[in-house]
């Protein structure tokens, strides 16, 4: 934020400092909250409000309505994210005694369309993994990356964040560093361990010699940690080589991990822990995918389903 010129801005500055210092929020989170709160400050200023204690519930709901209208309306998901920042500000202000009450508490986010994640079948995943070809260092690295993504359900950011010491081949587990500094230990399947071992023995030393001793498990051509963007290009390139027609995204193998586990009978709360979701409600979106699959099988296989 710029230099605070009114009480609202000073409250925002205090909240942002709280997020950075006490909550340890990531730079991406701070940037997003900062942008959203700048919009909120401008909205309040247009209404002649320069003190957070003077804000009414109508001001907050009006902010959400303004985001969804006008010449460049925001999507419901973006407006909901902005409201989350605003509610965080008011909750912080009420807790610290800057205001008497949290007037944002009753304001609800706009409804968003529920989108089911696109997943691949097991055969399509096998086809995708086969798209990592070659015994050179990058080919071995790419296979290790995709095997890890599918075996562990890790986000791409978590996969590239793995250090060599985070992998325990003996216990067949890996330590993942998730959102908000949270860590979790997840199992690693034998195919993924084999791919990682091949990379460590026959690929990583060649790339590591070009760098400065990075602890990262997955390295780029300069011997430094592989970036999220590069990992995404690896996934997309493998899909092109393998001829996978389905659209792939950075989360494709994570979605496949969850869906295939649930289809195989895994408990949703176990999958929640493996994915690192804070709420089981987030994980339950995958149960809809498996129910849809069951419905399709039923419709094509049961003699009374086609009546």
The string of pLDDT tens digits covering residues 8-18 is: 999 999 999 99
Distance CA(224)–CA(244), nearest Å, equals 30
Distance CA(93)–CA(174), nearest Å, equals 40
Give the residue numbers marked as catalytic: 155, 179, 251, 254, 277, 286
Per-residue confidence band for 279, with pLDDT thresholds at 50, 70 and 90: confident
DSSP 67-108: HTSSSSPPPHHHHHHHHHHHHHHHHHHHHTTSSSS-TTTTPP
pLDDT reading at 4 higher than 70: no
Distance CA(151)–CA(167), nearest Å, equals 13
Q: What is the CA angle 60-61-63, rounded to 5?
A: 65
pLDDT reading at 121 higher than 70: yes
Structural domains in the chain, sorted by start:
7-95 (1.10.150), 122-299 (1.10.443.10)
User: What CA–CA distances, in Å, run from 20 to 28, 83, 115, 180?
Assistant: 11, 19, 32, 11
What is the per-residue pLDDT for 181? 83
What is the per-residue pLDDT for 12? 94
Per-residue confidence band for 75, with pLDDT thresholds at 50, 70 and 90: confident
90-110 core/surface letters (b: 16 or more CB in 10 A; e: else): bebbbeeebbeebbbeebeeb
What is the per-residue pLDDT for 1? 41
What is the per-residue pLDDT for 132? 86
Provide the angle, in degrees to the nearest 10, between the axes of the packed helices 228-242 and 137-152: 100
pLDDT reading at 299 higher than 80: no
CB 277 within 8 A of CB 283: yes
Beta strand 167-168 with 173-177: parallel, antiparallel or unpaired?
antiparallel
Q: H or E stretch including 157?
A: helix 156-160
What is the per-residue pLDDT for 119? 85
Burial of 22 (0-12, 13-18, 19+ CB in 10 A): exposed
CB 9 within 8 A of CB 41: yes
Mean pLDDT of 127-150: 93
pLDDT reading at 79 higher than 70: yes
Mean pLDDT of 206-221: 96
Please report the beta strands in the chain, taking only residues with DSSP state E, as ranges in sequence order: 167-168, 173-177, 183-187
Distance CA(135)–CA(133), nearest Å, equals 7
CB 24 within 8 A of CB 180: yes
Per-residue confidence band for 112, with pLDDT thresholds at 50, 70 and 90: low
Rounded to two decimals, the pTM is: 0.62
Say whether 7 sits in a helix, a strand or coil.
Answer: helix
């Amino acid at each position: 934020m710029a230099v605070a010129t009114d009480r609202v801005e000073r409250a925002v500055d205090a909240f942002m400092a709280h997020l950075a210092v006490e909550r340890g929020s990531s730079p991406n989170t701070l940037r997003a909250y900062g942008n959203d709160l700048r919009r909120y400050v401008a909205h309040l200023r247009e209404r002649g409000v320069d003190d957070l204690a003077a804000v009414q519930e109508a001001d907050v709901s009006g902010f959400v309505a303004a985001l969804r209208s006008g010449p460049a309306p925001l999507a419901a998901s973006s407006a909901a994210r902005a409201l989350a920042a605003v509610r965080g500000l008011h909750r912080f202000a009420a807790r610290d005694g800057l205001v008497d009450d949290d007037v944002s508490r009753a304001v609800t986010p706009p409804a968003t369309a529920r989108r089911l994640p696109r997943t691949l079948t097991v055969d399509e995943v096998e086809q995708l993994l086969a798209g990592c070809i070659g015994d050179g260092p990058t080919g071995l690295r790419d296979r290790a990356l995709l095997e890890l993504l599918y075996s562990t359900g890790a986000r791409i950011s978590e996969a590239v964040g793995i250090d060599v010491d985070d992998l325990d081949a003996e216990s067949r587990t890996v330590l993942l560093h998730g959102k908000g500094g949270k860590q979790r230990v997840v199992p690693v399947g034998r195919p993924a361990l084999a791919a990682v071992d091949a990379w460590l023995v026959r690929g990583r030393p060649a790339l590591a010699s070009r760098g400065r001793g990075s602890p990262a498990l997955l390295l780029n051509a300069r011997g430094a940690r592989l970036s999220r963007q590069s990992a995404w290009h690896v996934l997309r390139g493998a899909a092109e080589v393998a001829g996978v027609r389905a659209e792939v995204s950075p989360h494709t193998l994570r979605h496949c991990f969850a869906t295939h586990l649930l289809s195989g009978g895994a408990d949703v709360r176990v999958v929640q822990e493996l994915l690192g979701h804070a709420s089981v409600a987030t994980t339950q979106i995958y149960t809809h995918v498996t129910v849809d699959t069951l419905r399709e099988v039923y419709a094509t296989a049961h003699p009374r389903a086609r009546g």
